[in-house]
Structure formats: C-alpha cells, structure tokens
C-alpha cells in the first residue's frame, strides 16, 4: 500500500513539474499538494511546491517549504541549488551565499557553485573575494565563457583594466566567432587611450560578425581618436544609411564633424542624436527580471 502511494506521489510530482514549465503555478501547487499528501516525506514534492509558491510570489511560504524539503534531504544538491537561486534573485545575497557554501562542501569540484559564490559576493560588493571565486571556478573549468565574461565585467568595474582585457582575450580565444569578447576588449582599450589596439580588437569582432554595429561604431570612434577623420566619417555615415535610428552613430558623426571644423553639420547631427536618445529612453520597457 505504501509503495503504491509513493508511486502515485511521483506521478503527481511529474504532473506538477510539467505545469511549472508552462507557468501554471496554481495548478502545479495543487499537484504538489496531492503528491505531499500521498508521500509527506518526498523532498522533491516539497521543493516542487516551493517552486510553485515562488511563481505565485508567495515568498515566505515558499522559503518555509524549501526548508521542509531540506529537513528531509539536507544534502540534495538540486533542492539547494534551486533555493540558492531564488534567494539570489530576491536579493538575499548573504543567505544565498550560505546555501552555495553548503553546495561547495558537498561538491567542491563543481565550477558552477564557485561561479555562483562569486556572483553573490559581487552583489555584496566584496569584489576581491568574488574574483577569487571566479578564479577558482576557472581552475575547475578553464573553458567557461560565462565565468570569463563575468570576471572581465567585474574587473572593468574595479578599474583593473589590463586584467579585464586579459579575461576577455581568454574568452575570445575560446570563442573566436563571438564578436562580444573582441568588442569588450576594444571598448576597454579605447578607454586606456590604446586606440591602435582597440582598432585591432574591433577588426577581429568584424571578422567574426561583419555587420556588428557595435564593432563598426567602435572602429569609427578609434579612427577618430587617431585623427583618421575621413575614414571615421565614412563609417558612421554607412551605419546611419543602414540604420537611421542609431543614436550612437549620430553622436559619433557629430563628434568627427566637429573635429573636422564642420560646426553647423556637427550641430545638426548632435541634435538628431539627442532626439533619438530621447526616443530610445521613452520606448524602453520597464525592467524587472532575474539575475
């Protein structure tokens, strides 16, 4: 009899899980309620009910349900990982970090847990500790593009620009068809006044993706800084021809025209850029998302 109840509970859990995938949280909760009634000791069923409650934004109940699941199976990595993710997304960073530390104790060689540790530490503004966690993740998996990206972004934020460039170079070496990592290098190198190097980075981005507007704009901006104004102007105008709503290119055009002493044309381009930036800001969607 008990075995049959456990099997029926598993079926109800599977039903609830499918409903979670389609974001039918109330129906999912009902399925998990039934799974728990059939098998109160099912940690996964309690975890599933917590997931449904999170979807319904009943956060305190969801946290209590996660704790019940962990009372039953304190070392269940799937449940702990989900719990940590919810805590992080709700900005409960210290508690999320505590959960991640438990995961690291269980699986010290899992690079994903070290990465998540770094993200919590970064959110807590413990930047040096966050970099150390990212480095540990990279020791365990040197090919992780996501960790290299997060490390590079944080290093740039910390004004450790040479180290940031190096992180993005490592990522680009692993993924030479992805322009993002070359663009990041170019942008930082431009900030450092290393315009020839920036130009080379944007050129590599364009080899990866010939129509990448960020790289084209970056190349034009670098050319402007190098005094190669005619080349830069031609690039900005070619972008504007393809995409007249590109505010960045209008700004770039305004700047290079000013450098060339064409004040009236520069002012007209600057006015258009301001108009487009205002339109972009007005049309921007509100943001409420997960980390």
Q: pLDDT class for 282, splitting at 50, 70, 90? A: confident
| CA separation for the pair 218, 123 (Å, rounded) | 29
HEC profile of 161-219: HHHHHHHHHHHHHHCCCCHHHHHHHHHHHHHCCCHHHHHHHHHHHHHHCCCCHHHHHHH
What pTM was computed for the model?
A: 0.83
User: What is the pLDDT, as a whole number, of residue 5?
Assistant: 86
Q: Which residue has the tokens 């504007």?
A: 240
For the four alpha carbons of 186, 188, 191 and 196, in that order, the dihedral sign comes to: negative
The CATH fold of domain 1-74: 1.25.40
Under 8 Å between Cβ of 145 and 175: yes
User: What is the pLDDT, as a whole number, of residue 289?
Assistant: 36
Q: Is the pLDDT at 162 greater than 80, yes or no? A: yes
How many C-beta atoms surround the C-beta of residue 92 within 10 A? 18
Average pLDDT score over the chain: 93
Dig out the tokens for 112 from the structure.
């994903």
What is the C-alpha radius of gyration for the chain, rounded to an integer number of angstroms? 25
How many C-beta atoms surround the C-beta of residue 115 within 10 A? 22
| CA separation for the pair 218, 195 (Å, rounded) | 10
Q: Is the pLDDT at 288 greater than 80, yes or no? A: no
Tens of pLDDT, residue by residue over 80-118, are 999 999 999 999 999 999 999 999 999 999 999 999 999
User: What is the pLDDT, as a whole number, of residue 248?
Assistant: 87
User: What is the pLDDT, as a whole number, of residue 285?
Assistant: 55
* DSSP secondary structure code for residue 244 in this structure: T
User: What is the pLDDT, as a whole number, of residue 132?
Assistant: 98
Domains of the chain by residue range: 1-74
**CA nearest neighbour of 95 among 142, 127, 63, 57:** 63
Share of residues in the chain with pLDDT > 90 (%): 88
Q: Is the pLDDT at 290 greater than 60, yes or no? A: no
| CA separation for the pair 186, 225 (Å, rounded) | 13
Share of residues in the chain with pLDDT > 70 (%): 97
């Amino acid at each position: 009899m008990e075995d049959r109840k456990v099997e029926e509970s598993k079926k109800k859990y599977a039903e609830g899980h499918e409903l979670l995938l389609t974001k039918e949280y109330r129906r999912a909760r009902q399925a998990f309620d039934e799974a728990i009634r059939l098998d109160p000791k099912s940690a996964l069923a309690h975890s599933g009910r917590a997931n449904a409650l999170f979807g319904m934004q009943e956060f305190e109940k969801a946290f209590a349900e996660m704790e019940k699941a962990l009372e039953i199976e304190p070392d269940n990595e799937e449940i702990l990982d989900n719990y940590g993710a919810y805590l992080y997304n709700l900005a409960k960073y210290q508690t999320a970090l505590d959960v991640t530390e438990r995961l690291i104790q269980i699986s010290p060689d899992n690079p994903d847990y070290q990465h998540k540790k770094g993200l919590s530490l970064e959110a807590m503004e413990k930047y040096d500790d966050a970099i150390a966690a990212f480095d540990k993740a990279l020791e365990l998996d040197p090919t992780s593009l996501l960790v290299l990206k997060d490390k590079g972004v944080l290093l740039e934020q910390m004004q450790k620009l040479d180290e940031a460039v190096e992180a993005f170079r490592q990522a680009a070496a692993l993924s030479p068809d992805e322009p993002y990592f070359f663009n990041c290098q170019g942008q930082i190198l431009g900030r450092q006044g290393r315009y020839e190097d920036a130009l080379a980075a944007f050129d590599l981005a364009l080899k990866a993706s010939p129509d990448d507007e960020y790289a084209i704009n970056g190349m034009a901006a670098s050319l402007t800084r190098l005094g190669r104004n005619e080349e830069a102007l031609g690039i900005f105008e070619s972008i504007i021809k393809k995409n007249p709503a590109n505010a960045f290119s209008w700004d770039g055009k305004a700047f290079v025209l000013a450098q060339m002493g064409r004040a009236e044309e520069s002012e007209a381009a600057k006015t258009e850029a301001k108009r487009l930036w205002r339109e972009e800001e007005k049309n921007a969607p509100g943001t409420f998302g997960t980390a």
